[in-house]
Structure 1
Amino acid sequence: MAKIKHSVYTSHVPAIGAALDLGKHTEPYWKKVFDGYEFSKQWEQENKPDVIILVYNDHANNFSLDLIPTFALGTGASFEPSDEGWGKRPVPTVQGHPELAAHIAHSVIQDDFDLTLCNKMEVDHGLTVPLSLMFGQVEQWPCPVIPLHVNVVQYPAPSGQRCLDLGRAIGRAVASYDEDLNVQIWGTGGMSHQLQGPRAGLINAQWDNEFLDRLIADPDALARVPHIDYVREAGSEGIELVMWLVARGAMNPHVDVRHRFYHVPASNTAVGHLILENKETA
């Protein structure tokens, strides 16, 4: 049977992708960021997944402000990187896994979650930057990826509890898939940042690290944190962190930390990163 044993969490700052694409990743400013992922790249080689479910948000590239689904699952065979206004990133086409995606869609919808199903979609930096951080510059991504978009761009965004519950439904769906697959689930976005207004450039390192602590040890309590707390403490774009709860929900209640990294700054935000492994239950 398919199994989720590991989850990965990371910021998806667009400037990180640009730094890598333009060969600036060895410059002192950016090297501190990329050094935090050296362990992760080696770890991925040693724990190569068969499929990744990657939770991210589209930034009005595939979905315009005219139509934004709350949750959208990529069920296609492949997904092209989108042109976000300065040309497509020089990264490989993302290969999907239509069979597992269709199974997840059927299971989760029968579990009373309303998903938008996308047989065709483009993916932006929200999805490609995490892949670059974890796998580096490659000619092709090492495994298929199932994109799961969450609307955190236009309010109302889903609650933390809804995201955690969706992750649990995805975990049940994967566990019921009749093929021996090693599946990873990734939660991306955040951490604290605000891109506009008088608080532009806001970074709250204390809140970020407390969020990481709670995500690891007490996701149920974290899921009850209201949106206004994210906005007040982590900035208007800090709401992206609810997507990490989708990935955490697919894991067991108790986990081990394989890697933890936090760095300020990267562009005008903080970078957070975790690798979690399920504790084996008796």
Structure 2
Amino acid sequence: MSDTPDTPPDGFEFVVTGSGVELAVKRSGEGPAVLLIGGLGMPSVTWDISGLPGSLVDAGFEVITYNARGVSPSSAPDAPYSVADLADDAAALLDHFEVGPTIVIGYSMGCYTAQSLLRSRRELVQALVLFAGLQPSPISAMVGEMELGLIDRYGEVPREVLVFEQLLTTLHHPLLQDPATVTGWQQVLSAGYDSLWTAPEGFRGQLTASQQWITSGEPTPEHLAAIDVPTLVLAFEHDLFFPPDLCAATARQIAGAEFAQIDGVGHGGIFTGPGDSAARITEFCRARRGL
């Protein structure tokens, strides 16, 4: 397992799970707990760009964010990982802080973790928000297969390949047609490449977990029908990984689930143009307070 810093960054604390994984966690606000679970390789600071943590704190919630195993400065166990492993990590955080039933919000791959957490530790989950991550598309499977194939052949995914792929899937068409925007995002994504992962095992581990979820046919109709907590599903209009039509159809298999589309952005809309997603999620959480 890769080492983590001796002291966490400002505002964070380290929590060690039962399996020995050290997670960098940040808590803010007071009130009923909301756990935010990020996507593949997503540092928790990305949530701040969306405005969601601040909106929830202002609404009287305690917000818990963390960097999943493999994302710096959390530790990176040896790969492979499973979505069940990631859900166990999330459960360990809720057990550690003794917050009781919690509203769980997942983004992208974090939606896989949130669903797995509900299955394994139902008593910890009060409600679900599945944000840009309910129903993966064939493109999701193709990208994961390509990346794992490159790692198997060459030991890594070249930086240039990752940056190009992230540009095409994160930004929507009008942004991709603007040279200044593309150049700016290319520089941002390239600069963060080396500091994102604690170790290469973190990337391979999370990627393996994501791909196993997709290739196993998740979320299955049986698992969707078994979701028995209030659920909000959000999707971005131009999301190639989780298209809104697919997410809307899948959401209809969850009893009583609410669905909304956030217009005008692609999968990276959480930071390029989150629209009213923070307001929608905050209102959903308010309505479930104390249930």
Q: Which of the pair has the greater relative contact order for Cα pairs under 8 Å at 6+ separation? A: 1
Higher fraction of helix: 2
Instruction: State the TM-score, normalized to the length of structure 2.
Output: 0.30
Higher fraction of strand: 1
